[in-house]
Amino acid sequence: MGASPADVLGMVMGETMILVVAAIGIGLGAAWVLTRYVRSMLFGVTEMDATTFVLAPVLLAAIVLIACGAPARHAARIDPIRTLREE
């Protein structure tokens, strides 16, 4: 109540990105640790391929931003008075 649409959008996207950064950190750490165990299954890339370790998190973050953008914009446009009346 009382937050501007920009504040609501920033809050939703900010909280989402905190989760994404945590997930990417955990995933990169696990991938780094597990590369020696899956070395035999990697074809055409080295076990510490920089392109893979950079592109996968960037692609994940982009997909999350797109997927979260529409609900965040919708939440920013909702009129709180109207919502409270309907509830």
DSSP 24-60: HHHHHHHHHHHTTTSGGG--SS-TT-HHHHHHHHHHH
Locate 23 and state its tokens. Answer: 């997930």
Q: Of 10-14, 45-49, 78-82, which has the strongest mean pLDDT?
A: 10-14
Q: What is the pLDDT of residues 39-74, one digit of tens each?
A: 777 676 677 778 888 898 999 999 999 999 888 888
Look up the pTM and report it.
0.71
Instruction: Count how many Cα atoms sit within 13 Å of the Cα of residue 61 in the half-sphere of its side chain.
Output: 14
Composition of the chain by helix, strand, coil, percent to 5: 80, 0, 20
Kindly report the average pLDDT of the chain as a whole number: 85
Amino acid letter, 74: H
Tell me the mean pLDDT in the region 64-86.
85
